[in-house]
Amino acid sequence: MGAMAQPADRTVHALLQSLFQNGVRHFVIAPGSRNTPITIAATAPGSPFKVWLHLDERSAGYFALGIARQTGEPVALTCTSGTAAANFVPAAVEARLSRIPLIFLTADRPPEARDVGASQTVDQVGIFSTHVKWAVDLPVADAGAIADLERYAATVGARAAAASLEAPAGPVHLNIPLREPLVDADSETLPFDLGAVEVRRSVAAPATPTPNEIARVASAVSGRRGVIICGPETNLPAAAITSLAKLLGWPVIADPLSGLRAGHHALDAIIDRADVLARERAFTDPATPKMTIRFGAQPLSKPLNTWLATLTDTTQIIVDPAVAVTGGWRDPDMRTSIAVAADPGAFCLRLLESLDAHSTARPEWLALWVEANAAARTALDAAIASLDEPFEGQAVVDLAGALTEGSTLVAGNSMPVRDIDSFFPTMDRAVRIVGTRGASGIDGVNSGAAGAAAVAAGPVALMIGDLSFLHDVNGLWPIRRHDLSLTVVLVNNDGGGIFSFLPQRTSMPARFEEWWGTPHGLDLSHAVVLHGGRHAILESGPTSGASAAIGDALQRPGLDVLELRTNRDRNVALHQQVWAAATEAVRHAVVAARA
């Protein structure tokens, strides 16, 4: 059969075989006619791929992103020609900035069908603009040069996989023009492996810092009062970072998406309430560091970032392998003094080798941070527990209590991820917390969670707001189709809750609700039932059993949506109330320690 295959079949098979040989394991298909040869190859007898189906290309893009974020492997996805490809753009934008390896395989009409009014034919060359790392418009498979084209396709596959993985990881675009016929009598039985040439391309080892740079940094940080800041990033080396912190005697500010807030690394120096601490001048004055070293992107906390931006006498270091390339320099406040182009793990190991026991800061420094953090945490917990009405922060506490070892928590954008920052505690269980923080859009969040659920070994929870849930309601579809399990904590305040924190809520009261508050008025349980899920109202409060309800859902197969209904105005007031209690506790703790 293989010998009878058409050139297009052989070329596409060679491309897909090369993708597999270079690390791609998951393949997402959005169905269509023009991408038929790609679908045939991906699902061929002997195909080594785990193949997923999705009916909405926008959601499919984020579903693939969720798989890639969870596995660290490049994920391939394909769609038919036309606006289908345009629907992949949002996920590409997110993948570029959040450094997720994706390989977009967009089927296209052949060149002679372009810009001549052919159906479902749009300009797909360059459709991802600067939002992919590499883009190729493949030649049409032609009988005249079959061996070379197979080698070319295998080479493109190898380069695509490598380009998607090499730091900073990100998306690539292969545009694949295909001529009819797209299927023939042999298609059904054509095996995956048509004996194409094998091309492998390895990814470079993690970038190491130069010895000179390490020596300079070691000299600068040794014995000084400093802070390690871990921002959003997949796969930061938690053990190496906490080892470095221990030797330096520094606290580690752990953004919830840094991977350092929960796990089996050393937790005693983890600061999980920096968002509160940074609000309180009685703390920030004595806690001003001489040095900071940041791994990952800028943290979520606005008070923290605002404070850090004021520290003009502090030497602020960022460590990132990609400072010189698009998306690599992540310092919007322009406070970086030294940008070290290095992999965080390699940097920590080299720096540890250059330091010794004399490098440790005086113990009062770490104690100041740890005690203030403990005071903030205790006060926040007490303030939340004392509320006798639904509070969105309580949902974070309930959810955190229900997450068992090996769980994944997907943090929705806008309010949920900020509430997770404020209220998710440090814990010694390996709980992976991820979010869509490249572009921080509210789109594609359900899909990313479904993608995580497709590959995660343990339970997967999503905490999401109502507008974001509604935006990507199609993202729920794969859960039933592919027998996935996902527990959603849906915080429903009927509109854009985060906008209530903006000045226009009070300065433009007549227009605020209509154009920013934007109540949608929907009973979202219908969306859950549409996609075959179970819906329940989540009772709020420490004695409500909410944590147990979430825990039970996490053990069940299928889709559970637990909805907490809240009020946007009250949400602002309650946040201010618990923050006030916490900052006051921090103030007392600092004063008591210094007395």
Is residue 31 close enough to count as binding a copy of itself by CB under 8 A? yes
Choosing from 330, 418, 535, 575, the residue that interacts with a copy of itself (CB under 8 A) is 330
The token duo for 367 is: 């104690």
Question: Is 550 exposed, middle or buried (CB count within 10 Å of its CB: 0-12, 13-18, 19+)?
Answer: buried
> CA 451, CA 77: separation in Å to the nearest integer?
13
Closer residue to a copy of itself (CB): 338 or 370: 338
Smallest separation, CB 592 to a copy of itself (Å):
36
**CA angle, residues 359, 363, 365, in degrees to nearest 5:** 95
Instruction: From 28-36, 250-258, 550-558, 583-591, give the range in contact with a copy of itself by CB under 8 A.
Output: 28-36
Is residue 412 close enough to count as binding a copy of itself by CB under 8 A? no
Choosing from 518, 544, 567, 577, the residue that interacts with a copy of itself (CB under 8 A) is 518
Instruction: From 5-13, 118-126, 447-455, 587-595, give the range in contact with a copy of itself by CB under 8 A.
Output: 118-126
> CA 231, CA 233: separation in Å to the nearest integer?
6
Instruction: From 164-172, 220-228, 277-285, 497-505, give the range in contact with a copy of itself by CB under 8 A.
Output: 497-505
Closer residue to a copy of itself (CB): 119 or 312: 119
Choosing from 471, 535, 568, 575, the residue that interacts with a copy of itself (CB under 8 A) is 471
> CA 465, CA 568: separation in Å to the nearest integer?
11
Site string for a copy of itself, 167-186 (x = CB under 8 A): --------------x-xxx-
Is residue 9 close enough to count as binding a copy of itself by CB under 8 A? no
Choosing from 43, 235, 360, 567, the residue that interacts with a copy of itself (CB under 8 A) is 43
Is residue 46 close enough to count as binding a copy of itself by CB under 8 A? no
Helix (H, G, I), strand (E, B) or coil at 300: coil
Instruction: From 120-128, 149-157, 220-228, 396-404, give the range in contact with a copy of itself by CB under 8 A.
Output: 120-128
Is residue 503 close enough to count as binding a copy of itself by CB under 8 A? yes
Is residue 57 close enough to count as binding a copy of itself by CB under 8 A? yes
Q: What phi and psi, each to the nearest 5 degrees, are found at residue 358?
A: -80, -5
Q: Which of residues 379-408 bind a copy of itself (CB under 8 A)?
A: none
> CA 306, CA 442: separation in Å to the nearest integer?
23
Choosing from 3, 46, 117, 595, the residue that interacts with a copy of itself (CB under 8 A) is 117
DSSP class per residue in 430-481: --EEEE-TTT--STTHHHHHHHHHHH-SS-EEEEEEHHHHHHTGGGGHHHHH
Q: Which of residues 332-361 bind a copy of itself (CB under 8 A)?
A: 332, 334
Smallest separation, CB 40 to a copy of itself (Å):
7
Closer residue to a copy of itself (CB): 184 or 193: 184
Smallest separation, CB 80 to a copy of itself (Å):
9
The token duo for 159 is: 């380069």
- Report whether 58 contacts 411 (CB < 8 A): no
Closest CA to 248 of 266, 265, 225: 225
Helix (H, G, I), strand (E, B) or coil at 570: helix
Smallest separation, CB 384 to a copy of itself (Å):
26
Q: How many residues sit close enough to a copy of itself to count as binding (CB under 8 A)?
A: 94
Closer residue to a copy of itself (CB): 20 or 477: 477
DSSP class per residue in 50-97: EEEE-S-HHHHHHHHHHHHHHH-S-EEEEE-SSHHHHTTHHHHHHHHH
Sign of CA dihedral 66, 67, 71, 76: negative
* The residue to which tokens 């970086």 are assigned: 336
Closer residue to a copy of itself (CB): 151 or 480: 480
- Report whether 225 contacts 37 (CB < 8 A): no
Q: Which of residues 451-470 bind a copy of itself (CB under 8 A)?
A: 467, 470
Q: Which of residues 531-560 bind a copy of itself (CB under 8 A)?
A: 531-532
Choosing from 24, 40, 154, 293, the residue that interacts with a copy of itself (CB under 8 A) is 40
Beta bridge partners of 40: none
Is residue 441 close enough to count as binding a copy of itself by CB under 8 A? yes
Helix (H, G, I), strand (E, B) or coil at 272: coil
